[in-house]
Structure 1
């Protein structure tokens, strides 16, 4: 894509990002609200990476760095814009960010039932580690939708 622009999100874009995820991403999280996205951007301004085409939000990835781990979440591309290299460009931006801070391995959260996403991550060189399982405990109830 010739007009693809990769950049970090601004704090005032939380609602836009949430609307994008509702259209382009699968699954939801307890942090899927304006406050959650706002806290992410405030805590780690480079973490939420967006792709724009023609001024429209067409892709996202969260590339979180906590000083210890490189964590990848919410890799999503609008359905009408898939298979154009946007996901690859987002992952390259995330991996460049991690390399700049000394990250040694990226961990991606991928929904077990999302076969398309599993193929994308595998094609990008990521592999599933079956000996790990995610354990979670919500500290608050998710916001009503």
Structure 2
């Protein structure tokens, strides 16, 4: 098995990332389009982390930091590469990024019905907070 490499996404990667999410992520959102991801990478070039193995995209995570809180989105691992430590490596890289930036607490958006993801997040030390409920409003159609 070839070595895993984690690096920030570049603008040239975005088409590949969007196609990857359609295959490896559970659903998409209104911001999962080229314009949305281009804005993310332009605003915070280190936020979208890619895991590559053998030159192929094997996983992603968005590790966003707004100066106050650390937010994790789009942790996704290609189905053929799951259970090989890629998700854990991506989370470790995200947490290292947060520590460098001064972040003190990470929160993750995880689909309620994605039991496989719940297991992975718990294994990484994250826990659901029952007292908080996320309220969402699309800002554009």
With the shorter chain as reference, the TM-score category is: over 0.9
| RMSD (Å), alpha carbons | 0.8
CA distance in 1, matches of 2:25, 2:43: 23
1:134 equivalent in structure 2: 134
CA distance in 2, matches of 1:100, 1:2: 28
CA distance in 2, matches of 1:46, 1:21: 18
Give the Å deviation of 1:44.
0.5
Q: What secondary structure does 1:104 align onto?
A: coil
CA contact (8 A) 2:2 2:54 kept: no
TM-score by length of 2: 0.98
CA contact (8 A) 1:27 1:111 kept: no
CA contact (8 A) 2:41 2:47 kept: yes
Q: How does 1:1-145 map onto structure 2 within 5 Å?
A: 2-141=2-141
CA distance in 2, matches of 1:48, 1:121: 18
For structure 2, the 5+ residue unaligned runs are none
CA contact (8 A) 1:58 1:78 kept: yes
CA distance in 2, matches of 1:57, 1:94: 17
Equivalenced residues, count: 141
Give the Å deviation of 1:2.
4.2
CA distance in 1, matches of 2:47, 2:137: 23
User: Residue by residue, what CA displacement relative to the aligned partner does 1:8-31 show, whole Å, maximum 9, x if unpaired?
Assistant: 000122111000000000021110
CA contact (8 A) 1:51 1:60 kept: yes
